[in-house]
Amino acid sequence: MLVGVISDTHGLLRPEAHVALAEAEHILHAGDVGNPDILTALAKIAPVTAIRGNVDTHGPCAALPATEAIELEEHLIYMLHSIHDLDIHPKAAGISVVISGHSHKPLIEHKDGVMYLNPGSAGPRRFRLPVSIALMTITKTEIAARIIELAV
């Protein structure tokens, strides 16, 4: 299963992000959506699971959950906007992947048998950080992720 991971769109769904996610079978948005039309557009590609970020606390995206757990291909994936708010022990909870956003810095790292994935920001460029998304390939036996830097 190909899963697209996007975060920190801040009201901007770039055409390059739309193209990069075109083959996704599910899309995870890790907060700071900024405009619900983004989720509507992403849902035309694949089912979307989204959480709210700090810019979504008021307005139409405020109804999104702060965290979400979703099972894909028998792997439990936990989503929260800021990794600093993680208040569970992922390995003890049986989580395979923790997805976060907020920092705008793309990251894939493994700790204690858990993948930590931040796709970076797909919205307005912040400082000199890349504009990016991530793609995860998930099978019943493994998860592989890669950061896709968007040419903007």
Per-residue pLDDT band for 125 (boundaries 50, 70, 90) equals confident
The arithmetic mean of pLDDT across residues 34-59, rounded, is 97
94 located within any domain: yes
91 located within any domain: yes
Comparing CA positions, the residue from 147, 143, 7 lying closest to residue 72 is: 143
25 located within any domain: yes
pLDDT the model gives residue 18: 94
For 3-26, letters b (16+ CB in 10 Å) and e give bbbbbbbbeebbebbbebbeebeb
pLDDT tens digits for range 77-90: 999 999 999 999 99
Alpha-carbon span 104 to 114, nearest angstrom: 21
1 located within any domain: no
DSSP state of 25: S
- The total domain count for the chain is 1
pLDDT the model gives residue 128: 86
97 located within any domain: yes
State the pTM of this model. 0.97
pLDDT the model gives residue 49: 98
Domain region containing 24:
7-149
37 located within any domain: yes
Which CATH number covers residue 88?
A: 3.60.21.10
100 located within any domain: yes
